[in-house]
Homo-oligomer: A and B are copies of this chain.
Protein backbone atom coordinates (compact mmCIF):
# COMPACT_ATOMS: atom_id res chain seq x y z
CA UNK A 1 0.00 0.00 0.00
CA UNK A 2 1.47 3.31 -1.09
CA UNK A 3 1.46 6.08 1.52
CA UNK A 4 -1.36 8.40 0.31
CA UNK A 5 0.68 11.44 1.37
CA UNK A 6 3.61 10.53 -0.89
CA UNK A 7 3.53 12.84 -3.91
CA UNK A 8 5.04 12.53 -7.34
CA UNK A 9 7.41 15.44 -6.60
CA UNK A 10 8.90 13.47 -3.70
CA UNK A 11 10.39 10.94 -6.14
CA UNK A 12 12.62 11.20 -9.17
CA UNK A 13 11.68 9.52 -12.43
CA UNK A 14 13.72 6.39 -11.72
CA UNK A 15 12.13 5.93 -8.29
CA UNK A 16 8.63 6.41 -9.67
CA UNK A 17 9.21 3.97 -12.52
CA UNK A 18 10.58 1.46 -10.01
CA UNK A 19 7.16 1.51 -8.33
CA UNK A 20 5.26 1.25 -11.62
CA UNK A 21 7.11 -1.43 -13.61
CA UNK A 22 6.46 -4.29 -11.13
CA UNK A 23 2.71 -3.68 -11.53
CA UNK A 24 2.85 -4.39 -15.27
CA UNK A 25 2.92 -8.12 -16.06
CA UNK A 26 4.76 -9.21 -19.21
CA UNK A 27 2.72 -10.02 -22.30
CA UNK A 28 2.62 -13.07 -24.49
CA UNK A 29 4.29 -11.18 -27.37
CA UNK A 30 6.96 -9.37 -25.33
CA UNK A 31 10.59 -10.14 -26.22
CA UNK A 32 12.12 -7.17 -24.36
CA UNK A 33 9.96 -5.31 -21.83
CA UNK A 34 10.33 -1.96 -20.07
CA UNK A 35 13.69 -0.61 -18.92
CA UNK A 36 15.85 -0.37 -22.05
CA UNK A 37 15.79 2.32 -24.77
CA UNK A 38 12.94 0.45 -26.46
CA UNK A 39 10.92 -2.70 -26.12
CA UNK A 40 10.90 -5.56 -28.60
CA UNK A 41 7.55 -7.14 -29.47
CA UNK A 42 6.86 -10.14 -31.67
CA UNK A 43 4.80 -9.65 -34.83
CA UNK A 44 4.38 -13.21 -36.05
CA UNK A 45 2.43 -12.33 -39.18
CA UNK A 46 5.03 -9.81 -40.36
CA UNK A 47 2.81 -6.80 -39.73
CA UNK A 48 1.38 -5.02 -36.74
CA UNK A 49 -1.57 -2.76 -36.12
CA UNK A 50 -0.82 0.48 -34.25
CA UNK A 51 -2.97 3.29 -32.91
CA UNK A 52 -2.60 6.09 -30.36
CA UNK A 53 -5.11 7.91 -28.16
CA UNK A 54 -4.62 10.59 -25.56
CA UNK A 55 -6.62 11.39 -22.42
CA UNK A 56 -6.29 14.88 -20.93
CA UNK A 57 -7.37 15.81 -17.42
CA UNK A 58 -10.48 18.03 -17.35
CA UNK A 59 -11.12 17.27 -21.04
CA UNK A 60 -11.60 13.51 -20.96
CA UNK A 61 -11.78 12.87 -17.23
CA UNK A 62 -11.96 14.69 -13.92
CA UNK A 63 -9.82 13.53 -11.05
CA UNK A 64 -12.64 14.05 -8.55
CA UNK A 65 -14.75 11.54 -10.51
CA UNK A 66 -12.19 9.15 -11.91
CA UNK A 67 -9.60 7.34 -9.82
CA UNK A 68 -6.18 6.60 -11.27
CA UNK A 69 -7.42 3.04 -11.70
CA UNK A 70 -10.45 4.24 -13.70
CA UNK A 71 -8.28 6.38 -15.96
CA UNK A 72 -5.87 3.51 -16.54
CA UNK A 73 -8.74 1.20 -17.45
CA UNK A 74 -10.29 3.79 -19.73
CA UNK A 75 -7.03 4.68 -21.46
CA UNK A 76 -6.36 1.01 -22.13
CA UNK A 77 -9.87 0.12 -23.29
CA UNK A 78 -10.26 2.98 -25.75
CA UNK A 79 -6.98 1.99 -27.35
CA UNK A 80 -7.64 -1.75 -27.30
CA UNK A 81 -10.95 -1.07 -29.07
CA UNK A 82 -9.09 0.60 -31.96
CA UNK A 83 -7.07 -2.57 -32.46
CA UNK A 84 -10.17 -4.77 -32.31
CA UNK A 85 -11.84 -2.52 -34.90
CA UNK A 86 -9.12 -3.51 -37.40
CA UNK A 87 -9.86 -7.20 -36.80
CA UNK A 88 -6.73 -7.64 -34.69
CA UNK A 89 -5.90 -8.85 -31.20
CA UNK A 90 -4.04 -6.44 -28.86
CA UNK A 91 -0.48 -7.38 -27.96
CA UNK A 92 1.45 -4.46 -26.52
CA UNK A 93 1.01 -0.91 -25.24
CA UNK A 94 3.39 1.93 -24.46
CA UNK A 95 2.30 4.83 -22.27
CA UNK A 96 3.52 8.42 -22.06
CA UNK A 97 2.36 9.93 -18.81
CA UNK A 98 2.46 13.59 -17.77
CA UNK A 99 1.88 14.15 -14.05
CA UNK A 100 1.73 17.23 -11.82
CA UNK A 101 4.14 17.25 -8.88
CA UNK A 102 1.29 17.32 -6.37
CA UNK A 103 -0.29 14.13 -7.71
CA UNK A 104 -0.18 11.29 -5.16
CA UNK A 105 2.16 8.49 -6.16
CA UNK A 106 -0.73 6.15 -5.33
CA UNK A 107 -2.72 7.71 -8.21
CA UNK A 108 0.06 6.72 -10.61
CA UNK A 109 0.37 3.18 -9.27
CA UNK A 110 -3.45 2.86 -9.42
CA UNK A 111 -3.27 3.95 -13.07
CA UNK A 112 -0.71 1.21 -13.71
CA UNK A 113 -3.03 -1.33 -12.04
CA UNK A 114 -5.91 -0.16 -14.23
CA UNK A 115 -3.79 -0.52 -17.35
CA UNK A 116 -2.66 -3.98 -16.27
CA UNK A 117 -6.19 -5.15 -15.38
CA UNK A 118 -7.53 -4.08 -18.79
CA UNK A 119 -4.69 -5.52 -20.83
CA UNK A 120 -3.63 -8.73 -19.07
CA UNK A 121 -6.90 -10.65 -19.65
CA UNK A 122 -6.51 -10.21 -23.40
CA UNK A 123 -2.83 -11.23 -23.44
CA UNK A 124 -1.52 -7.72 -24.00
CA UNK A 125 1.00 -5.88 -21.85
CA UNK A 126 2.49 -2.47 -21.20
CA UNK A 127 6.01 -2.82 -22.61
CA UNK A 128 7.33 0.70 -22.20
CA UNK A 129 6.63 4.25 -21.19
CA UNK A 130 7.85 7.73 -20.49
CA UNK A 131 7.14 10.06 -17.59
CA UNK A 132 7.24 13.83 -17.45
CA UNK A 133 6.13 16.55 -15.13
CA UNK A 134 3.35 18.91 -16.25
CA UNK A 135 0.46 20.98 -14.92
CA UNK A 136 -2.30 18.49 -15.81
CA UNK A 137 -2.42 14.73 -16.12
CA UNK A 138 -2.04 13.53 -19.71
CA UNK A 139 -2.12 9.83 -20.58
CA UNK A 140 -1.04 9.04 -24.14
CA UNK A 141 -1.33 5.35 -24.96
CA UNK A 142 -0.11 3.64 -28.10
CA UNK A 143 -1.49 0.16 -28.68
CA UNK A 144 -0.38 -2.61 -31.00
CA UNK A 145 -2.14 -5.65 -32.32
CA UNK A 146 -1.65 -8.80 -34.30
CA UNK A 147 -3.81 -9.58 -37.34
CA UNK A 148 -2.83 -13.28 -37.37
CA UNK A 149 -3.01 -13.31 -41.14
CA UNK A 150 -6.32 -11.47 -41.38
CA UNK A 151 -6.89 -8.70 -43.87
CA UNK A 152 -7.10 -5.44 -41.88
CA UNK A 153 -10.72 -4.27 -41.71
CA UNK A 154 -11.00 -0.67 -42.90
CA UNK A 155 -13.88 1.79 -42.71
CA UNK A 156 -14.16 1.96 -46.44
CA UNK A 157 -15.50 -1.44 -47.48
CA UNK A 158 -19.24 -1.13 -46.76
CA UNK A 159 -21.48 -1.87 -49.76
CA UNK A 160 -25.15 -1.22 -50.46
CA UNK A 161 -27.20 -4.10 -49.14
CA UNK A 162 -24.87 -4.87 -46.22
CA UNK A 163 -26.33 -5.28 -42.76
CA UNK A 164 -25.12 -2.73 -40.19
CA UNK A 165 -24.41 -4.36 -36.84
CA UNK A 166 -23.15 -3.18 -33.49
CA UNK A 167 -21.39 -4.99 -30.65
CA UNK A 168 -21.15 -3.48 -27.18
CA UNK A 169 -23.16 -0.99 -25.18
CA UNK A 170 -24.91 2.05 -26.61
CA UNK A 171 -25.40 5.32 -24.71
CA UNK A 172 -24.32 4.05 -21.30
CA UNK A 173 -21.23 6.19 -21.05
CA UNK A 174 -23.17 9.37 -21.89
CA UNK A 175 -25.86 8.46 -19.38
CA UNK A 176 -23.20 7.81 -16.75
CA UNK A 177 -21.57 11.16 -17.45
CA UNK A 178 -24.93 12.94 -17.16
CA UNK A 179 -25.53 11.23 -13.82
CA UNK A 180 -22.11 12.31 -12.55
CA UNK A 181 -22.75 15.85 -13.77
CA UNK A 182 -26.06 15.98 -11.92
CA UNK A 183 -24.58 14.62 -8.71
CA UNK A 184 -21.92 17.29 -8.83
CA UNK A 185 -24.52 20.03 -9.32
CA UNK A 186 -26.51 18.70 -6.35
CA UNK A 187 -23.96 17.03 -4.08
CA UNK A 188 -25.20 13.72 -2.74
CA UNK A 189 -24.13 11.78 0.30
CA UNK A 190 -22.05 9.07 -1.33
CA UNK A 191 -19.16 8.71 -3.69
CA UNK A 192 -20.36 9.16 -7.26
CA UNK A 193 -21.46 5.91 -8.75
CA UNK A 194 -20.57 3.86 -5.72
CA UNK A 195 -24.12 2.62 -5.30
CA UNK A 196 -27.71 3.13 -6.41
CA UNK A 197 -29.74 1.79 -9.31
CA UNK A 198 -27.72 3.68 -11.91
CA UNK A 199 -24.31 2.63 -10.63
CA UNK A 200 -23.78 0.39 -13.68
CA UNK A 201 -24.26 3.40 -15.97
CA UNK A 202 -21.81 5.51 -14.00
CA UNK A 203 -19.37 2.60 -14.12
CA UNK A 204 -19.95 2.46 -17.87
CA UNK A 205 -18.57 5.97 -18.11
CA UNK A 206 -15.76 5.59 -15.58
CA UNK A 207 -14.61 2.14 -16.64
CA UNK A 208 -15.91 1.41 -20.15
CA UNK A 209 -15.85 -2.09 -21.56
CA UNK A 210 -15.17 -2.97 -25.18
CA UNK A 211 -16.11 -6.21 -26.95
CA UNK A 212 -12.52 -6.94 -27.98
CA UNK A 213 -13.10 -10.53 -29.16
CA UNK A 214 -15.83 -9.28 -31.48
CA UNK A 215 -13.33 -7.51 -33.73
CA UNK A 216 -11.39 -10.55 -34.92
CA UNK A 217 -14.67 -12.54 -34.91
CA UNK A 218 -16.22 -9.98 -37.27
CA UNK A 219 -13.18 -10.15 -39.52
CA UNK A 220 -13.40 -13.94 -39.62
CA UNK A 221 -17.12 -13.70 -40.42
CA UNK A 222 -16.42 -11.48 -43.45
CA UNK A 223 -17.18 -7.98 -42.18
CA UNK A 224 -16.81 -5.44 -44.99
CA UNK A 225 -16.09 -2.37 -42.82
CA UNK A 226 -15.69 -1.72 -39.12
CA UNK A 227 -14.81 1.01 -36.65
CA UNK A 228 -14.72 1.72 -32.93
CA UNK A 229 -17.66 3.85 -31.75
CA UNK A 230 -15.83 6.37 -29.57
CA UNK A 231 -17.54 9.60 -30.61
CA UNK A 232 -21.17 8.48 -30.80
CA UNK A 233 -23.10 6.15 -33.06
CA UNK A 234 -24.20 8.85 -35.52
CA UNK A 235 -20.81 10.49 -35.81
CA UNK A 236 -18.88 7.26 -36.22
CA UNK A 237 -21.47 5.75 -38.57
CA UNK A 238 -21.04 8.95 -40.59
CA UNK A 239 -17.31 8.29 -40.82
CA UNK A 240 -17.98 4.78 -42.11
CA UNK A 241 -20.54 6.15 -44.57
CA UNK A 242 -18.11 8.77 -45.93
CA UNK A 243 -15.16 6.37 -46.12
CA UNK A 244 -17.30 3.80 -47.96
CA UNK A 245 -19.35 6.25 -50.07
CA UNK A 246 -22.70 4.92 -48.85
CA UNK A 247 -25.71 5.81 -46.75
CA UNK A 248 -25.95 4.10 -43.36
CA UNK A 249 -29.60 3.77 -42.37
CA UNK A 250 -30.10 2.96 -38.69
CA UNK A 251 -33.21 1.19 -37.49
CA UNK A 252 -34.93 2.99 -34.59
CA UNK A 253 -36.68 -0.20 -33.46
CA UNK A 254 -33.38 -2.03 -33.11
CA UNK A 255 -32.23 0.63 -30.64
CA UNK A 256 -35.44 0.49 -28.61
CA UNK A 257 -34.07 -1.87 -25.90
CA UNK A 258 -31.24 0.58 -25.25
CA UNK A 259 -33.60 3.52 -25.15
CA UNK A 260 -35.90 1.70 -22.75
CA UNK A 261 -32.99 0.76 -20.51
CA UNK A 262 -31.70 4.33 -20.28
CA UNK A 263 -35.06 6.16 -20.07
CA UNK A 264 -35.27 5.52 -16.31
CA UNK A 265 -32.00 7.35 -15.79
CA UNK A 266 -33.22 10.24 -17.96
CA UNK A 267 -36.40 10.33 -15.92
CA UNK A 268 -34.46 10.34 -12.66
CA UNK A 269 -32.49 13.31 -13.96
CA UNK A 270 -35.74 15.20 -14.52
CA UNK A 271 -35.87 15.00 -18.30
CA UNK A 272 -39.19 16.20 -19.70
CA UNK A 273 -38.72 13.75 -22.59
CA UNK A 274 -36.99 10.71 -21.08
CA UNK A 275 -37.24 8.63 -24.25
CA UNK A 276 -35.84 11.48 -26.32
CA UNK A 277 -32.98 12.02 -23.89
CA UNK A 278 -32.22 8.30 -23.87
CA UNK A 279 -32.31 8.18 -27.67
CA UNK A 280 -29.88 11.11 -27.80
CA UNK A 281 -27.51 9.22 -25.49
CA UNK A 282 -27.78 6.11 -27.69
CA UNK A 283 -27.25 8.00 -30.95
CA UNK A 284 -24.80 10.70 -29.91
CA UNK A 285 -23.15 9.64 -26.67
CA UNK A 286 -19.41 9.11 -26.93
CA UNK A 287 -16.90 6.76 -25.32
CA UNK A 288 -18.94 3.56 -25.32
CA UNK A 289 -16.22 1.84 -27.37
CA UNK A 290 -18.51 -0.61 -29.08
CA UNK A 291 -17.80 -1.84 -32.60
CA UNK A 292 -19.87 -0.84 -35.61
CA UNK A 293 -19.48 -3.23 -38.54
CA UNK A 294 -21.12 -4.04 -41.84
CA UNK A 295 -21.69 -7.57 -43.11
CA UNK A 296 -22.95 -8.93 -46.43
CA UNK A 297 -26.67 -9.67 -46.17
CA UNK A 298 -27.32 -13.13 -44.79
CA UNK A 299 -24.04 -13.37 -42.85
CA UNK A 300 -24.64 -15.02 -39.47
CA UNK A 301 -23.61 -12.25 -37.08
CA UNK A 302 -20.93 -13.25 -34.58
CA UNK A 303 -21.75 -12.67 -30.92
CA UNK A 304 -22.41 -10.11 -29.50
CA UNK A 305 -23.20 -8.22 -32.74
CA UNK A 306 -26.80 -7.16 -33.22
CA UNK A 307 -28.25 -5.76 -36.45
CA UNK A 308 -29.01 -2.04 -36.12
CA UNK A 309 -29.52 -1.00 -39.73
CA UNK A 310 -28.69 -1.38 -43.38
CA UNK A 311 -26.30 0.10 -45.92
CA UNK A 312 -28.03 1.93 -48.80
CA UNK A 313 -26.58 3.13 -52.07
CA UNK A 314 -25.95 6.86 -52.53
CA UNK A 315 -29.06 8.67 -53.71
CA UNK A 316 -27.73 12.04 -54.79
CA UNK A 317 -27.55 13.56 -51.30
CA UNK A 318 -24.10 12.25 -50.45
CA UNK A 319 -22.79 9.82 -47.83
CA UNK A 320 -24.64 10.22 -44.53
CA UNK A 321 -26.48 8.53 -41.70
CA UNK A 322 -30.25 8.26 -41.59
CA UNK A 323 -32.64 6.93 -38.96
CA UNK A 324 -35.52 4.96 -40.46
CA UNK A 325 -34.72 6.70 -43.74
CA UNK A 326 -34.79 10.25 -42.36
CA UNK A 327 -32.27 12.72 -41.05
CA UNK A 328 -31.87 12.06 -37.31
CA UNK A 329 -33.33 14.78 -35.11
CA UNK A 330 -30.42 14.79 -32.65
CA UNK A 331 -26.94 16.27 -32.87
CA UNK A 332 -24.04 14.48 -34.48
CA UNK A 333 -22.18 13.44 -31.36
CA UNK A 334 -19.04 14.00 -29.48
CA UNK A 335 -16.01 15.92 -30.70
CA UNK A 336 -13.07 14.93 -28.51
CA UNK A 337 -11.23 17.95 -29.70
CA UNK A 338 -13.72 20.75 -29.29
CA UNK A 339 -15.88 19.06 -26.68
CA UNK A 340 -19.58 18.53 -27.16
Binding site for B on A (CB under 8 A): 9, 12-13, 16, 31-32, 35-44, 46-56, 59-60, 82-83, 85-86, 88, 92, 94-98, 127-136, 138, 140, 142-145, 147, 152, 154-156, 226-228, 243, 335-339
Contact = CB atoms under 8 A, between A and B. Distances in A.
How many copies the complex holds: the figure is: 2
Contact of A37 (B55, B85, B94): B85
B44 A46 contact: yes
A41 B155 CA distance: 17
A232 to B, nearest CB: 13
Contacts of A88: 38
A85 B54 contact: no
B133 A136 contact: no
Contacts of A49: 38-40
Nearest to A129: B52
Contacts of A46: 42-44, 46
Nearest to A138: B138
A155 B95 CA distance: 21
B338 A59 contact: no
A229 B40 CA distance: 20
Contact of A138 (B43, B95, B140, B152): B140
Contacts of A92: 50
A210 to B, nearest CB: 12
Contacts of A339: 133
A50 B82 contact: no
Contacts of A226: 37
Contacts of A56: 98, 132-134, 138
Contacts of A40: 47-50, 86, 147, 152
Contact of A338 (B31, B38, B51, B133): B133
A336 B132 CA distance: 7
A25 to B, nearest CB: 17
Nearest to A95: B52
A50 B152 CA distance: 21
Given A37-B155, A154-B36, A132 B50 contact: no
Contact of A38 (B9, B127, B131, B145): B145
Given A38-B145, A132-B336, A136-B134, A50 B94 contact: yes
A127 B48 CA distance: 12
A138 B139 CA distance: 10
A96 B37 contact: no
27 contacts: A9-B338, A12-B338, A13-B338, A31-B47, A36-B156, A37-B85, A37-B226, A37-B227, A38-B50, A38-B85, A38-B86, A39-B49, A39-B50, A41-B48, A43-B48, A50-B94, A50-B127, A50-B142, A52-B95, A54-B130, A54-B140, A56-B98, A56-B133, A131-B336, A132-B337, A134-B136, A142-B142
A154 B40 CA distance: 11
Contacts of A142: 50, 52, 94, 96, 142
